[in-house]
Amino acid sequence: MSEKIKFYTDEHVPAAVVAGLRRREVNVLTTREASLCGASDEEQLALAAHQGRVIFTQDDDFLRLHNKGFKHSGIIYAHQQTSIGNIIRGLMLAYQILDASDMQNHLEFL
């Protein structure tokens, strides 16, 4: 049986995105809940990887980390101007059609 995606959101993701995912019963951990506010992007990525979580971010620094070959459990990126509704729809689509193994070291754009 395939394992469902669990998300980790960096500190700049709107709370409405997290609330929308949780209303849909998606497992989400925020930077604040992990007590990592102000931590480096590398630390964020390491925590997400350690917990097998796909990081959702609107910070393009994570794109550079991916391109440098940092190992991770998946990164989903959306531009800053992406609406909350489109973010939730995109993340739900990924959640419904991909599993955790599909996202290993994979970068997905919304």
Residue boundaries of the structural domains of the chain = 7-109
Each residue of 1-53: pLDDT tens digit?
Answer: 579 999 999 988 999 999 999 999 999 999 999 999 999 999 999 999 999 99
For the chain, what is the mean pLDDT? 95
CA distance 68 to 99: 24
CA distance 30 to 58: 14
3-state secondary structure of 34: coil
CA distance 74 to 105: 5
Burial state string for 20-46 with b = 16 or more CB within 10 A and e = fewer than 16: bbeeeebebbbbeebebeebebeebbb
pTM for the model stands at 0.94
One of 1.20.120, 3.40.720, 2.30.30, 3.40.50 is the CATH number of 7-109, namely 3.40.50
